[in-house]
């Protein structure tokens, strides 16, 4: 059985030196409103409580009922957001929040436009199956990892044997797969339309029963929620603030089966002491700062190419070259763990042409000491 989750901190956690809080969430979850799940809202809410989840984006396969009957708002300590997994000729999208169903099997740009008319966002779902590049007008980001894809990528027989005969933690760790073609497609999209917000696809169904009604469920909601989370840096825990943060690119993804990612921090500090988080475009000169929850292998990439690496729990780079920067952190054993959103650093000559995607605030001296 998966070990108990660590005691939940008082949620959400403040992000040092900014007006934001770190909301830990689940993106891509199915319930009895999907044809391939019979999970209840009560079971999902209980799993959120056990895993310390602040919000869950419900993305049932779209029907009239899935949008009409989806639960919205707070259930216990967890905010429920109603969206849908929607099919297009190029692949599937996650669209949320939604008030009414989208027309089916349209081009992704048209689905994204319909979602936007409701105040919703559109994300590439199952990027490993997509038939066109991610950089489609109107899309806001992509699932850079997906647990179902992880199960399909690994040896299926070995995955099944792990689930049946070995501790559940080993199965969950086995699902934590980083697919290089998906990350290459993400970097290409970032070059065209930064920010292109990363999310982790839990793809939770709680529907794998190897022995039918006689056997237990592999990959319960609790187990899947303890394996992968998407963190959103928002002004507060409500739907409007989450949507604004997703749109601005203020997210990071954590394979929690390899370590709780809460507290991961990637930021730029400009020459005036202003703090810029993921999703921002930053004037030169600037300093990039990374802080991980524990020691690991930190990789700082520019335009998809590794520029700096360090085995530590922190990394600083002064005067980074212009480009789009993001961070990957692996555990000390080399397992994939943390993935940041991106920060664009401008050349000095163009530093007056800036769009900053979030409020900027000078970092107090006592906070600077921790970086």
User: 258 with 277: CB under 8 angstroms?
Assistant: no
Cα 183 from chain centroid (whole Å): 13
Over range 292-312, report the average pLDDT: 98
Over range 74-83, report the average pLDDT: 97
Distance CA(270)–CA(106), nearest Å, equals 42
Instruction: For residue 298, count other CB atoms closer than 10 A to its CB.
Output: 22
Domain limits for position 292: 265-368
pLDDT score of 214: 46
Distance CA(28)–CA(352), nearest Å, equals 39
Whether 143 shows a pLDDT value over 80: the answer reads: yes
pLDDT score of 350: 55
Instruction: For residue 251, count other CB atoms closer than 10 A to its CB.
Output: 28
Residue 6 lies in a domain: no
Whether 65 shows a pLDDT value over 60: the answer reads: yes
Domain count, the chain: 2
pLDDT score of 153: 66
Distance CA(37)–CA(3), nearest Å, equals 25
Confidence of residue 174 (pLDDT cuts 50, 70, 90): confident
pLDDT score of 156: 53
Residue 174 lies in a domain: yes
Residue 2 lies in a domain: no
How far apart, in Å, are the Cα atoms of 131 and each of 4, 91, 107, 145, 161? 40, 7, 12, 17, 32
How far apart, in Å, are the Cα atoms of 201 and each of 30, 141, 145, 204, 318? 11, 12, 6, 8, 33
pLDDT score of 369: 38
Residue 57 lies in a domain: yes
Residue 78 lies in a domain: yes
Over range 52-66, report the average pLDDT: 97
pLDDT score of 349: 67
Confidence of residue 4 (pLDDT cuts 50, 70, 90): low
Distance CA(237)–CA(239), nearest Å, equals 7
Of 203, 230, 258, which residue constitutes the final position of a domain? 258
Whether 352 shows a pLDDT value over 80: the answer reads: no
Question: How do strand 55-58 and strand 197-204 relate by DSSP bridges?
Answer: unpaired
Whether 351 shows a pLDDT value over 90: the answer reads: no
Q: Are 88 and 119 in the same domain?
A: yes
Residue 127 lies in a domain: yes
Whether 298 shows a pLDDT value over 60: the answer reads: yes
Over residues 230-259, the pLDDT tens digits come to 999 999 999 999 999 999 999 999 999 999
pLDDT score of 168: 65
Whether 227 shows a pLDDT value over 90: the answer reads: yes
Whether 2 shows a pLDDT value over 90: the answer reads: no
pLDDT score of 5: 52
pLDDT score of 167: 59
pLDDT score of 361: 37
Residue from 256, 255, 251, 254 nearest 266 by CA = 251
* Average pLDDT over all residues of the chain: 88
Q: What percent of the chain has pLDDT over 90?
A: 79
User: 244 with 234: CB under 8 angstroms?
Assistant: yes
Residue 184 lies in a domain: yes
Residue from 135, 28, 152, 149 nearest 90 by CA = 135
Q: Torsions phi, psi of 169, nearest 5?
A: -55, -35
User: 244 with 226: CB under 8 angstroms?
Assistant: no
Distance CA(6)–CA(189), nearest Å, equals 36
| Cβ-Cβ contacts under 8 Å for 78 (sequence gap 6 or more) | 45, 48, 49, 53, 54, 55, 56
Positive or negative: CA dihedral 326, 302, 246, 104: negative
Whether 101 shows a pLDDT value over 50: the answer reads: yes
Q: What percent of the chain has pLDDT over 70?
A: 83
Q: Are 245 and 273 in the same domain?
A: no
What does the CA dihedral 294, 295, 301, 307 come to, rounded to 10 degrees?
150
Cut 0.85: pTM above it = yes
Of 258, 276, 296, which residue constitutes the final position of a domain? 258
Residue 5 lies in a domain: no
Confidence of residue 355 (pLDDT cuts 50, 70, 90): very low
Eight-class DSSP state of 210: T
Q: Which residues partner with 78 through β-bridges? A: 75
Whether 189 shows a pLDDT value over 60: the answer reads: yes
């Amino acid at each position: 059985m998966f070990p108990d989750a660590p005691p939940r901190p008082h949620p959400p956690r403040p992000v040092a030196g900014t007006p934001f809080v770190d909301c830990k969430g689940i993106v891509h979850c199915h319930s009895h409103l999907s044809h391939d799940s019979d999970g209840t809202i009560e079971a999902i809410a209980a799993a959120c409580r056990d895993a310390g989840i602040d919000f869950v984006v419900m993305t049932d396969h779209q029907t009239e009922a899935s949008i009409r009957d989806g639960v919205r708002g707070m259930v216990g300590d967890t905010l429920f957001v109603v969206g849908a997994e929607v099919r297009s000729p190029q692949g599937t999208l996650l669209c949320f929040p939604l008030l009414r169903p989208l027309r089916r099997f349209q081009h992704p740009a048209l689905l994204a436009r319909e979602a936007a008319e409701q105040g919703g966002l559109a994300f590439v779902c199952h990027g490993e199956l997509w038939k066109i590049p991610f950089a489609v007008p109107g899309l806001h980001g992509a699932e850079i990892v997906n647990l179902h894809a992880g199960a399909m990528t690994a040896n299926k027989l070995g995955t099944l044997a792990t689930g049946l005969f070995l501790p559940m933690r080993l199965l969950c760790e086995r699902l934590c797969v980083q697919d290089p073609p998906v990350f290459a497609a993400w970097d290409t999209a970032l070059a065209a339309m930064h920010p292109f917000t990363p999310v982790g696809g839990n793809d939770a169904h709680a529907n794998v029963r190897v022995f039918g009604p006689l056997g237990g469920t592999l990959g319960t909601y609790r187990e899947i929620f303890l394996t992968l989370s998407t963190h959103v840096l928002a002004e507060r825990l409500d739907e409007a603030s989450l949507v604004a943060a997703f749109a601005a690119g203020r997210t990071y993804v954590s394979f929690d089966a390899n370590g709780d990612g809460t507290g991961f921090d990637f930021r730029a500090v400009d020459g005036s002491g202003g703090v810029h988080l993921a999703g921002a475009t930053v004037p030169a000169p600037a300093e990039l700062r990374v802080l991980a929850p524990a020691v690991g292998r930190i990789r700082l990439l520019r335009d998809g190419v590794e520029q700096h690496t360090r085995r530590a729990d922190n990394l600083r780079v002064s005067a980074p070259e212009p480009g789009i920067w993001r961070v990957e952190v692996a555990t000390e054993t080399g397992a994939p763990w943390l993935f940041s959103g991106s920060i664009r650093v401008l050349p000095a000559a163009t530093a007056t042409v800036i769009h900053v995607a979030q409020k900027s605030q000078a970092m107090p001296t006592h906070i600077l000491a921790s970086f």
